[in-house]
């Protein structure tokens, strides 16, 4: 990816087969879409086809999508000899991720189940990815899209650091990510990331492929988020100790995985402070369930006595 960009390599022959997203008229895109931090105008000309997305994003021509009526894709009309790609299964967005700020830093927690409709496609996925030493991102939505955009974000942040000698702030990272996702608004891409990090203080920012960019103190994303919010809203305070915060995050994910069919298996937990992120050992929630059941059973027996 990086080398291709540095060499301004463009595969012209491929453009006949695939409908290149980057070759759509730039009239509707109000931002100067080129390599983000490169101010030399000669580079701007050669990479003018690049819509700000680091690779040449050739999307296969999609059948007319009626779910987004406001953004008619009729101008994406594929050339007659091209093939449309049928998806073999319905995309589903089952997950529980959460992040919150307290006096001891930022906690990021997530389950590890990847579901495809009713199938548990993978029980041990990493939904929390470190971007750099002081930033992790929790992902939700379409697994493939999230993995790609995490990788793109890592690349862009690292490039900025190499070019300018200092690290981009987390708010700027969120804004950069939001601008990069904007051209794909109205397509079926679904990415909801929560950036949890530390730069001059704890930061928590939610970025979504719809375009939303919100900074806050607590966010939970995914199909299990209402259950997680229920647990978090009750106990969350600024003055929590590290141990209490970790057990609160675990409890919130556990309760969400208990009730939500599309979340489950394990819980991943990251703690970010001024010294960087640290990861807790992945815990199987099945054991937590049995411990909880035993505790409740004991309570019931105590009451009966």
Partner 1 sequence: MEYLIGIQGQDFVLVAADNVAASSIIQMKHDYDKMFKLSEKILLLCVGEAGDTVQFAEYIQKNVQLYKMRNGYELSPAAAANFTRKNLADYLRSRTPYHVNLLLAGYDDTDGPGLYYMDHLSSLAKAPFAAHGYGKRFILNLPSFTVRLIDKEGIHDLEKLTLGAK
Helix (H) or strand (E) holding 198: strand 191-198
Residue 229, exposed/middle/buried by CB under 10 A (0-12, 13-18, 19+)? Answer: middle
Closest separation in Å from C-beta 234 to partner 1: 16
Q: Is 186 in the site for partner 1 (CB under 8 A)?
A: yes
State which of residues 124, 212, 261, 274 lies at the interface with partner 1 (CB under 8 A). 212
CA distance 305 to 299: 10
Closest separation in Å from C-beta 63 to partner 1: 17
Q: Is 28 in the site for partner 1 (CB under 8 A)?
A: yes
Residues 6+ apart with CB under 8 A from 258: 227, 289
State which of residues 70, 80, 90, 305 lies at the interface with partner 1 (CB under 8 A). 70
Q: Is 178 in the site for partner 1 (CB under 8 A)?
A: yes
Q: Is 88 in the site for partner 1 (CB under 8 A)?
A: no
State which of residues 72, 117, 118, 201 lies at the interface with partner 1 (CB under 8 A). 72
Catalytic residues: 95
State which of residues 12, 30, 81, 200 lies at the interface with partner 1 (CB under 8 A). 30
Tokens 């981009």, located at residue: 168
b/e burial code for range 200-213 (CB count within 10 A of at least 16 → b): eebbbbbbbbeeeb
Q: Please work out, in degrees rounded to the nearest 5, the angle formed at the alpha carbon of residue 281 by the alpha carbons of 259 and 227.
A: 20
State which of residues 1, 2, 29, 172 lies at the interface with partner 1 (CB under 8 A). 29
Tokens 């894709």, located at residue: 73
Binding interface with partner 1 (CB under 8 A): 27-30, 70-72, 75, 178, 182, 185-186, 206, 208, 210-214, 216, 219-220, 225-226, 229
């Amino acid at each position: 990816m990086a080398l291709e960009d540095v060499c301004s390599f463009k595969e012209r022959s491929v453009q006949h087969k695939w409908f290149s997203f980057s070759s759509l008229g730039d009239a509707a895109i109000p931002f100067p879409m080129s390599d983000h931090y490169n101010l030399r105008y000669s580079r701007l000309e050669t990479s003018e086809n690049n819509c700000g997305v680091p690779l040449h994003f050739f999307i296969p021509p999609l059948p007319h999508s009626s779910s987004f009526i406001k953004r008619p894709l009729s101008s994406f009309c594929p050339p007659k000899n091209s093939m449309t790609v049928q998806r073999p299964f319905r995309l589903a967005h089952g997950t529980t991720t959460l992040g919150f700020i307290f006096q001891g830093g930022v906690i990021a927690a997530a389950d590890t189940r990847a579901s495809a409709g009713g199938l548990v496609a993978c029980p041990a996925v990493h939904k929390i990815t470190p971007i750099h030493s002081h930033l992790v991102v929790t992902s939700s939505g379409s697994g493939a899209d999230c993995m790609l955009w995490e990788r793109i974000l890592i690349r862009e942040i690292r490039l900025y650091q190499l070019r300018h000698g200092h690290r981009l702030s987390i708010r700027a990272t969120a804004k950069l990510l939001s601008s990069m996702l904007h051209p794909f608004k109205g397509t079926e891409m679904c990415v909801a990331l929560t950036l949890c990090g530390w730069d001059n203080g704890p930061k928590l920012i939610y970025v979504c492929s719809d375009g939303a960019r919100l900074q806050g103190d607590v966010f939970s994303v995914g199909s299990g988020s209402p259950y997680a919010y229920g647990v978090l809203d009750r106990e969350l305070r600024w003055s929590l100790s590290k141990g209490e915060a970790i057990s609160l995050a675990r409890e919130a994910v556990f309760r969400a995985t208990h009730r939500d069919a599309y979340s489950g298996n394990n819980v991943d937990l990251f703690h970010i402070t001024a010294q960087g992120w640290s990861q807790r050992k992945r815990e199987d929630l099945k054991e937590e369930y049995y411990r909880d059941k035993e505790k409740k059973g004991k309570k019931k027996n105590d009451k009966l006595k």
